[in-house]
Amino acid sequence: MTPKEFVQQIAETNRNNIRQLITEERLVQIGTSVTTGKDTVGGLGNGIARIKAPKKNQDRDAVYLIFEESIDPEVGLDVDIDQTAIPIAAILPIYHPTESTEELQEIHIYPKNVGYLRDPYFFKYGRQRGTTEKGKPLEGAVFALYQMIEGEKYYLDMAPANDLKNQWIKPADNDPLNDKNVSKFISDKEGLVTTGQRFLPSGTYYFEELKGVEGYEMDEASKRIEVIIPEFWVDAKGQPQYVVVNGQEMAELESGKVPVSAYESATPRVYNETVKETTDKPKEPSGPSNPGQSGKWSVFPQTNEARTLISLLGILLLLGAVLLIKKERGEKNE
């Protein structure tokens, strides 16, 4: 294997396998780990790290493996180093490209990271309370995105990300809806809620519904819609790792847009149910509210009541007639 082939093979090797190689071969680290920053030696700007290394190893050409271990979490860069920060092999000495006998004393190596672009979305739907129907999309629901930092909510602010970094703030008066600095995301006519290309690094976040749609209830679950962004695009076996929203896998964006398949299935989907209706209705009075006053029913009797009254009147008339006949017969006998 030529030196060029060796360097290319290292570059194409999975980072997990490189970690395993470092452990199994007991590769020795040269000095201490270095962190990129502003170059104070050669004035080359920011993002510079300098390493001094011998060109020979016991009379043999020295071979070095440059491996990016991590990113300072406090910097908050939206970067997936396991997907994009390839290992680099360097074999010394390295000669000038046009002067084959001139050894380079300073070598510039340009490892690069690519933004870890994960843009979560979901569909907001409404359905009848207590049912499992698909329901319908809800337009106009207002959301904010927050993450928990030391047990407190910090919300994504309105400022666009700079240098692949987002800003997280505590809302004024603890009122994210009315804080103009808190980013708001509103469901469209399809019920779709996106972060508008506010890309997020790996971690756990939450959408919080700040303002609902009339006729639908905002419960506690709608104020804590979990978003889990995995650390890597793929797992150790090369299988894709999806963003999970509300416990449902999210199809990856296609050319920066929500795919048609997601629209068709309305997934991931989050529900609001209709507002609970009051079932206890006041009882209507069965008679007059004041016993001393007659109600309308006494003037205009209902059908059954009229029949009862007619029957009673008939009986009274019959009794009266019988008594009258007996009285007349008694007078004649006298």
Q: What is the pLDDT of residue 9?
A: 83
The two beta strands, 121-127 and 269-273, are parallel
Tokens in use for 180? 């103009």
Torsion of CA 323, 327, 328, 334, to 10 degrees: 160
Q: Per-residue b/e over 177-210, b at no fewer than 16 CB within 10 Å?
A: eebeebbbbbbeeebbbbbeebbbbbeebbbbbb
Q: Is the pLDDT of residue 257 over 60?
A: yes
CB count within 10 Å of CB 4 equals 9
Q: Which residues contact 287 (CB under 8 A, 6 or more apart)?
A: 295, 297
**Are residues 119 and 264 in contact, defined by beta-carbon separation less than 8 angstroms?**
no
**CATH entry 2.60.40.10 includes domain 119-272:** yes
How would residue 228 be classed by pLDDT, with cut points 50, 70 and 90?
very high
**Residue for token pair 């030529």:** 2
Q: Is the pLDDT of residue 84 over 80?
A: no
Q: What is the pLDDT of residue 14?
A: 74
For range 85-113, the mean pLDDT: 75
CB count within 10 Å of CB 258 equals 19
How would residue 128 be classed by pLDDT, with cut points 50, 70 and 90?
very high
Q: Per-residue b/e over 128-158, b at no fewer than 16 CB within 10 Å?
A: eeeeeeebebbeebbbbbbbeeeeebbbbbe
What's the pTM?
Answer: 0.56
What's 284's DSSP letter?
Answer: P
pLDDT tens-digit series, residues 100-109: 788 888 777 7
Rg of the chain on CA atoms, in Å: 41
Report H helices in 167-291: 260-265
Average pLDDT, the chain: 79
Instruction: Give ranges for CATH 2.60.40.10 in the chain.
Output: 119-272
Q: What is the pLDDT of residue 284?
A: 57
Give me the amino acid identity at 331. Answer: E
